[in-house]
Structure 1
Amino acid sequence: MTTFLPLLNEDNSALFNALDRIGPIILDAQHSIPLPQLPQQSYLLVDQDTSVDIDAVASWLDEGVEKVIVPLSSAKELIGVLPADRLVLLLDVANVSAVSDKIRNGVSGVLLKTPSIDIDFITPFSKFFVGSTIYVLSTADSLPTVSNIRELQTIGATLVLPESQLTLDTSSSTKLNVADAFLATVVSDRADGLYPTVVTTETGHSLGLVYSSKASVKESIISGKGVYQSRKHGLWRKGETSGATQDVVRIRLDCDSDSLEFRVVQHGVGFCHLNRQSCFSEATGLPALENTLRQRLENAPEGSYTQRLFKDPVLLQSKIMEEADELCNAETKEDIAFEAADLFYFALTRCVAAGVSISDIERSLDKKAKKVTRRPGNAKPQWTKEAPVTPAAPAVPEKKEETKVDGPIRMRTSDLSKVSPEERVQLLRRPVLKSDEMIEKVKPIVEAVRQRGDEALLELTAKFDRVKLDSTVIFPPFAPESMVIEEDVRKAIDVAYSNIHKFHAAQVDGSTLKVETMPGVVCSRFARPIVRVGLYVPGGTAVLPSTALMLGIPAQVAGCKEIVLATPPRPDGSITPEVMYVAHLVGASAILKAGGAQAVAAMAYGTKTVPKVDKIFGPGNQWVTAAKMLVQNDTDALVSIDMPAGPSEVLVIADHTANPAFVAADLLSQAEHGVDSQVVLVAVNLTPEHLAAIEQEVDVQASALSRVDIVRQSIPKSIIVKVANTDEAIQFSNDYAPEHLILHLEDASQRVAEIDNAGSVFVGAFTPESCGDYASGTNHTLPTNGYARQFSGVNTLSFQKHITSQEITAAGLDVLGPVVATLADCEGLQAHANAVRVRLDQVKKSA
């Protein structure tokens, strides 16, 4: 129950913290507190002069804001779109007549700004808004009183007190003490005037029953510590002598305002004088398990199973997945309870290891419950299982009409001329990649391979690739039977190999650059291959021999002495024969039968069987990308990577000459890579009919694809950006910096010179991105996620590094030496200067 609502518009941490302990707080929507750091219960007030965006209000509510208080002008747009129980109407007394039945029924409360607290006026007003909570904000100069709070409570209304009228000090004629306002309606049926007080944990589990007084409540609100009233000894500051102190999380009134609840974080041995958590009994269930796990984390018996779980994240992860699977397969009530208990145990162990409490989980659940926007909630592809099919009796084949699932496949559309600068920035963003979270997930995998080598690699291959192997590495010569492929596929690979080899061979830097910077001083620069390279070839949702070509050929051309190719094995433990054939063509020195983070770790650190490499190349999923980022920053690995990577992407610029079928096909060629892929169509002054034809082609072509389920998830995340002319289109593309850029333009060839940022450009109607992916000659391993601003795609020079040298004659040093000595003296590096001067002295003696 709420006795009053504070309205804050300035930063006052002490007042803020005190108010946060006793109930909801109204904050100005322009308040500087970030949404994730809002108090436990917060209302946001939108000023009369502030325009309200529906998406912004929805995002506030999604972040956990209890209610949004909006003016009448904005309420008309929000009502019917957002839940009524989350909206409060901001209303001036002069505007009451303007409230329609629709608005009255579309909100859960009304914040009434009134020149005085007149119960006779407010009472009929509350009857007009029957079923709504009435909040009253007086605009008078005089300070509302405790009596006003009580009077308003009798008609079900709540007083709003601005920050300027509140204090943590004693109440005065200009400010009301926070505790006095909170306790305004509290009554006691006891002769001593004390209030029965139930003390609970953050999760509501009872600790004990005590008593409070106005003085003890005031001190608790201000200090944030558990302070109560002893019937014998006066104020009782819990833990003052025992050390079992309490941090107050929330103080609440019951429905009759005659008792209190303190929710606290209990420190020390417990609340009870018998050194138990609760006065009523020992903790049971989840609270007991949480206490036990916390104790085990601090002081687990050597060799205990819980200690193993804390020390072996990979084991813990495996057990969570195992128990989740067993819970899904349980059938009887007893089995479901049994398996759920096991899952709770391992899940809570994971939480305690990360410092997450049950109360943290409950807060997250509460926050999720407050969301007003919802995702479809479909399972990710790797967790989707098809229901078992019962064989049916043979039937005469019947031709059925094609039916589309979930409606047409559509992209989102924005008009660049109508978006704000902030919205334009959002259009340039990719789907969110939580790289920090992914790095934390791969750390245990990488660490396991680093410490236990082949043993861990075999375990992880069995776990993630679901293949049990005796050895994970194949060395040449490769068995001919492992490379048997269809003749047409072999010929296609041979043509692709020839084109890619030709283009990359032309990039080799085999010359030595020599420059005489001054007489007798010659500086040189020459290229050398990186000796040992690791090539990651994905094998998840698609088999990619093309990636083996794109990585293996430049490594071969550059002259790398060791080429380790890593790719996930098939269910029978073998490698895809097309990839094997390419490995043979490019002269791979080893093939690692492993995927994911474990393959990256094996190449980065090396094992007894896996050769260590100096640089790792290749695309992959989030696990691979995170592992590459992790190992490149580990000095123990001493390994670099080709570039940061993200989901595949394409940007297509299309004008009036664009063929809708061609454009749609190009968009879908990237959208089918994965659910996190993004495609962008920049439409240059296209007519509505032309744009509709492209969208129709996207839907029709996508529905015919075997990977349509992936496209159904990636296309809705993708966008159509409408622009007025080609200059605007190219400017947007340069800002976006796409991995692949396709120009469906009338003057496509002439426009290439204006492209500043792109991984690879595909010029004209008959240059599909697919050709660059496979066989035209350019490389398809390209920078994504906007990194085309700083990075090139993989090329021959990616597999080389450059060394510089200098050769100086005695005459050259005679001229250059004094310059160097002067600069060394300037920097205070005497040894540097001396290395020159001893030589200059020798030159002078020899002269």
Structure 2
Amino acid sequence: MPLPILPYFSKEPVCKKISLVGQVLIPFVAGKTKSEDITKYSTTAFFEVNLDYTSAEIDEDTIEQLLALYNKGVSKVFAPVRVAEEIKSRIPNARLVYKVSTTAEAAGVKNAAVAITETPSSPEAVQPFARAGVYVFVSRKLDSGSISGWAKSAATIVIDSSLITTEYEHPAAGKTPLIEYIVAGLRTDRPDGLYTTVAVNAEHQALGVAYSSKQSIAEAFRRKAGVYQSRTRGLWVKGLTSGNTQELYRVDSDCDGDAIQFVVEQKGAGFCHKDTSTCFGQLPGLSNLETVLRERVANAPEGSYTKRLLNNRKMLDSKIREEADELIDANTKSEIAWEAADLFYFAMVKCAKNGVSLADIEKNLEAKSLRVTRRQGNAKPKYVAETEEHDREKQQKAEKEAEKKAELEIDPEAPIVLKRVDADTASAEEVAACLKRPIHTSKDIMSLVTPIVERVKSEGDKALLDLTQKFDHVSLKTPMMSAPFAESSMQITDDVRRAIDIAFENVRKFHEAQLRKGVMKVETCPGVVCSRFARPIERVGCYVPGGTAVLPSTSLMLSVPALVAGCKDIIFASPPGKDGKLTPEVVYVAHKVGAKGIVMAGGAQAVAAMAYGTQTIPKCDKIMGPGNQFVTAAKMLVSNDSAAMCAIDMPAGPSEVLVVADQFADTDFVASDLLSQAEHGVDSQVLCIAVNMPKSKLDELDRAVDSQARRLPRVAIVRKCIAHSTTLQVKTYAEAFEMANRYAPEHLILQIKDAEKWVDSVNNAGSVFVGAYSPESCGDYASGTNHTLPTYGYARMYSGVNTATFQKFITSQVVTPEGLKSIGKATMDLAAVEGLDAHRNAVKIRMEKLGLYPPSN
């Protein structure tokens, strides 16, 4: 400890008095001493507080109070041994002092500081405890000899503040001048007996060097001001004539006791007689800025920029937000330094305006560094969502710029063709690369999606409206369009209406054929009948994406099976257009299936709204539908959250097609099937496996792809998709189907001779399109099969959406006495093996009443 004395305040401490010696000890009373009270005892960022815990009883509430005090910046707790043992695992050992009565008790404390409450007979008695730290309580006035002895020992004297005084010439009876304790711990080798003194400000920046004597230090304590000893003029009260006064905060000594430090608040022009803030020139950096801003707060002329900032709160707050955003966007060292400096400037203007000093800020930093319980430290969901959206917009901007640059570099006359790989001559790695999908950085996506989902979960409609404004740039009054739907919201042409009606009927027929009616019953053994029956999921959410193409067909594929299954409530979700309206075809389908309403939102926020429900949107039991990576991530997130209690249909990725074609295929047909998927997006996957196809046929296919692609309105998207797509040449059909099953495509198209006989070779695919006249487009719209299919290889383990997707299956069993005779003993034996006696007893008690137990041999 810098000084050999630690004042102990048995009553309410006097802040200005105790700050002079840096550290103090104040009493702690369980339930009364509050953490917020500690801050009022501190006058500088370097002021420390120690607590004395005197009670022998401690409970969890008291421990929590102690931890709260630590978190406010308290440096140490003095505690009885038993209490110290209870709390030592919760706090750093260096911040705990074991409170004992005698040196004998102190000997029992290992590797920890001790405080001895009964004054030992001599300073030498505490020497064995010096390494870990030792404090000695003194409850009586000491003579100068005793003070000197203790000051030169390893101990810190803990003395009741009522026994000391800053008055040194005429101290009250029973009191010892504070200066006696201070000089007892100092030494000097100067002939004049003065002590080298460094004056520093509250940020510990050196203002200058002076000299002190016993008298000048005592006078500094009495005045609570900077008082020094001039070698030529005697006692020197700083600023007495110049007005550049100092308020004394505290006095410390160095580790050897041969130099002292005054921590002061410098008033006026500065410390130096040359009117500079220090004897080494002006204070640098933030301290200099603080000085300037303080002067501006008092004297800034009207119309100046700083005056405008001080007078206009919105302007100042806006500048702080602006500079914070610019710091976030800065990348290089020079950019970060520049933007951080701007942010510091405007932040300090706000501080100066409100009388907050750098010392106040550092005091808070010091307190936070002393915390013993650590917060998780995560940003609030609102700011996480804003940051993630900012990053997303930044990324999108960068991607668009990269796309523009790439487009400029693309030769518009270059052919739009798939690259070729011959499996017969390529390496296994090259073939595997053709069947490999792009890696999705799910961790990054999930970090973007989680705050969005959490915000909708906690804020409901408000969050949904805010996010729709942010992401879709549409301002809505309500996020839910409830049934019945206005005629004006589903104005479509007669041709489109007729097309939807035809598709609706075909999808209904195919999915109604899948509907299992009645109850499946099986008598597994005599007297044991097991049953299985279906029940509809009561409330389902159908997500209909927007994006690069509006997909009203998806609304059919999701809602019609739900209608067939008998779902009580069908909820749609689809993002509104720029005009704030929904796609009329989607509204028409919602009307046909009797949907309860449509969530007017897209992305992760729509999924969250259906999963958790909001003030206007009912919570759904299961969510179905395709979407981008954010929708997929949100679906995965809510399905894993037990608080949501919400299932999903399947994971999903970008749309994909694999066409198996041979030399008998029509290359125009093959090209059209490839392009029908390529136009979905640049991340769509297009793959052609060419079976024993000659080079002339492959060239013909390339020409067909190029010719058709150039005539498409979405040719820019198609060109980028085809650029990373492949024609993989193989010799046999067996090879083709082995690769197709390995890839497990969303759409598998068979344009080969005798295509139907090869369907039995398909093990992994979302949906199969068999023969030259079965384009994938028919399945997407009107054939009757469902187009919501597993992608990204999930066809290995998931089915596409079907009627069963909207049902759950319940089993039941009826066991008669005859049945119990058949399976009772087997049940009891298996329960005994698992050690579940209550299970065994439930059978045994029945068999006993039937006279079936014990079993006959």
TM-score by length of structure 1 reads: 0.56
Offset, 1:513: 1.0
8 Å CA contact 1:649, 1:678 repeated in 2? yes
Deviations 1:255-299 (A, max 9, x none): xxxxxxxxxxxxxxxxxxxx9999xx9995467799999999996
| SS at structure 2 position matched to 1:312 | helix
In 1, Cα distance between equivalents of 2:417 and 2:394: 39
1:247 aligns with: none
Map Cα deviations across residues 150-199 of structure 1 (whole Å, 9 max, x no partner).
Answer: xxxxxxxxxxxxxxxxxxxxxxxxxxxxxxxxxxxxxxxxxxxxxxxxxx
Q: Which residue of 2 aligns with 1:475?
A: 482
Deviation at 1:835, TM superposition (A): 1.3
Shift, 1:601, TM fit: 0.4
Distance 1:449 1:378 in 2: 29
> Where does 1:188-267 land on structure 2 (aligned, <5 Å)?
none
Q: Secondary structure at the match of 2:521?
A: strand
What secondary structure, in the 3-state scheme, does the structure 2 residue paired with 1:844 have? coil
Corresponding residue for residue 827 of structure 1: 834
- Residue 527 of structure 1: aligned partner: 534
Cα distance, 1:324–1:750 mapped onto 2, change above 3 Å:
closer
* Paired position in structure 2 for 1:407: 414
Say if 1:584 and 1:832 are closer, same or farther in 2 by CA, change over 3 A: same
Q: Is the 8 A contact 1:528 1:801 kept in 2?
A: yes
- Among 596, 618, 630, the alignment partner of 1:623 is 630
- What code does the residue aligned with 1:597 have? A
Is the 2:385–2:448 Cα contact (8 Å) retained in structure 1? no
For 1:599, the equivalent position in structure 2 comes to 606
Q: Which residue of 2 aligns with 1:759?
A: 766
Rounded to whole Å, the distance in 2 between the matches of 1:558 and 1:695 is 45
RMSD: 3.6
Partner-residue secondary structure (3-state), 2:850: helix
- 2:660 matched to 1:653? yes
Report the identity percentage.
53
1:687 to 678, 694, 712: 694
Contact 2:844 2:853 (8 Å CA) reproduced: no
After superposition, the Cα gap between the structure-2 partners of 1:308 and 1:442, relative to the gap in structure 1 and judged at 3 Å, is: closer
Consecutive unaligned residues of structure 2, counting only runs of 5 or more, are 1-254, 256-282, 291-335, 348-360, 372-376
Residue 776 in 1 paired to residue 778 in 2? no
User: Residue in 2 aligned with 1:579?
Assistant: 586
Distance 1:749 1:614, change over 3 A: same
Give the CA deviation at 1:424.
2.5
Structure 2: distance between partners of 1:322 and 1:731: 42
Aligned with 1:535: secondary structure?
strand
Match of 1:452 among 453, 459, 462: 459
Return the alpha-carbon distance in structure 1 between the equivalents of residues 424 and 737 of structure 2: 15
Q: Deviations over 1:563-589 (max 9, x none)?
A: 110000112221111111111111211
Choose the corresponding residue for 2:810, options 803, 806, 812.
Answer: 803
Using a 3 Å threshold, how does the CA distance of structure 1 residues 752 and 321 change in structure 2: closer, same or farther?
Answer: closer
The residue that corresponds to 2:717 in the other structure is: 710
Q: Is the alpha carbon distance of 1:384 and 1:475 closer, same or farther for their aligned partners in structure 2, counting shifts above 3 Å?
A: farther
Partner of 2:387: 316
The residue number in structure 2 matching 1:142 is: none
CA distance in 2, matches of 1:629, 1:378: 28
CA contact (8 A) 1:310 1:316 kept: no
Matched, 1:792 2:799: yes
1:723 corresponding residue in structure 2:
730
- 2:851 and 2:405 map into 1 onto residues whose CA distance is 82
- Is contact 1:738-1:759 (8 Å) kept? yes
> Where does residue 5 of structure 1 map in the other structure?
none
Range moving further from structure 2, 672-681 or 423-432: 423-432
Counterpart for residue 749 of structure 1: 756
Query: 2:381–2:455: 8 Å Cα contact kept in structure 1?
Result: no
Instruction: Give, in whole Å, the separation in 1 of the partners of 2:620 and 2:534.
Output: 19
- Cα drift, residue 307 of structure 1: 9.5
SS at match of 2:741: helix
TM-score (norm 2): 0.55
Q: CA separation in 1, counterparts of 2:628 and 2:413?
A: 27
1:644 partnered with 2:632: no
Which residue of structure 2 lines up, in the alignment, with residue 439 of structure 1?
446
What amino acid sits opposite 2:796 in the alignment? R
Relative to 1, partners in 2 of residues 1:290 and 1:426: Cα closer, same or farther, differing over 3 Å?
A: farther
Equivalent residue, structure 2, for 1:563: 570
Q: What CA distance in whole angstroms lies between the structure 2 residues aligned with 1:660 and 1:794? A: 31
Per-residue CA deviation, residues 232-267 of structure 1 (Å, 9 max, x unaligned), is: xxxxxxxxx9xxxxxxxxxxxxxxxxxxxxxxxxxx
Q: Are the structure 2 counterparts of residues 811 and 484 from structure 1 closer, same or farther at C-alpha, using a change threshold of 3 Å?
A: same
One-letter identity of the residue aligned with 1:740:
H
CA–CA separation in structure 2 for the residues paired with 1:377 and 1:800? 42
Amino acid aligned to 1:452: E
Residues 309 and 315, structure 1, Cα contact 8 Å, conserved in 2: no
Is contact 1:741-1:758 (8 Å) kept? yes
Instruction: After superposition, give the CA deviation of every residue in 1:105-134 in whole Å (9 maximum; x if it has no partner).
Output: xxxxxxxxxxxxxxxxxxxxxxxxxxxxxx
Q: CA deviation at 1:538?
A: 0.7
Distance 1:307 1:442 in 2: 16
Q: Is the 8 A contact 2:528 2:815 kept in 1?
A: yes
**Residue identity opposite 1:659 in structure 2:** D
Query: Is the Cα–Cα contact under 8 Å of residues 382 and 451 in structure 2 kept in the other structure?
Result: no
Q: 1:811 offset after TM fit, Å?
A: 2.9
Q: Distance in 2 between matches of 1:521 and 1:377?
A: 64
**Cα distance in 2, alignment partners of residues 846 and 834 from structure 1:** 11
Q: Tell me, what secondary structure is at the counterpart of 1:757?
A: coil
CA 449–299 in structure 1, closer or farther in 2 if over 3 Å, else same = farther
Q: Distance in 1 between matches of 2:699 and 2:393?
A: 48
1:443 Cα deviation from its structure 2 partner: 0.6
Q: Which residue of 1 aligns with 2:492?
A: 485
Residues 637-659 of structure 1 show CA distances to partners (whole Å, capped at 9, x for unaligned) of 11111111000000111111111
3-state secondary structure, aligned to 1:730: helix
Residues 560 and 593 of structure 2 are in contact (CA less than 8 Å); yes or no, is this contact kept in structure 1? yes
427-436 vs 791-800, which deviates more? Answer: 427-436
Show the counterpart of 2:401. 379
**What is aligned with 2:670?**
663
Structure 1 residue 787, shift from structure 2 partner: 1.1
* Residue identity matched to 1:763: V
Q: For residue 496 of structure 2, what is the amino acid of its counterpart?
A: V
Mark the CA change 1:660 to 1:561 in structure 2 (over 3 Å): closer, same or farther.
Answer: same
Q: Could you say which structure has the larger radius of gyration?
A: 2
One-letter code aligned to 1:379: E
CA–CA separation in structure 1 for the residues paired with 2:394 and 2:660: 49
Closer/same/farther in 2, CA of residues 307 and 753 from structure 1, 3 Å limit:
closer
Contact 1:743 1:764 in 2 (8 A): yes
- SS across alignment from 2:790: coil
Structure 1's 775 and 635: CA in aligned 2 closer, same or farther, altered over 3 A? same
Alignment length, in residue pairs?
505
1:513 corresponds to? 520
Question: Alpha carbons of 1:699 and 1:287: their partners in 2 closer, same or farther (altered >3 Å)?
Answer: same
Per-residue deviation at 1:626?
0.9
Q: Distance in 1 between matches of 2:559 and 2:395?
A: 40
Aligned to 1:199: none
- Could you list the per-position Cα deviations for residues 421-452 of structure 1 after superposition, in whole angstroms to 9, with x for gaps in the alignment? 23322221112222222111101100100111
Q: What's 2:144 paired with?
A: none
Q: Is the alpha carbon distance of 1:827 and 1:380 closer, same or farther for their aligned partners in structure 2, counting shifts above 3 Å?
A: farther
Contact 1:674 1:710 in 2 (8 A): yes
Q: Does residue 551 of the first structure (1) align with residue 558 of the second (2)?
A: yes
> CA contact under 8 A between 1:814 and 1:843: conserved in structure 2?
no
Judge conservation of contact 1:530–1:801 (CA < 8 Å) in 2.
Answer: yes
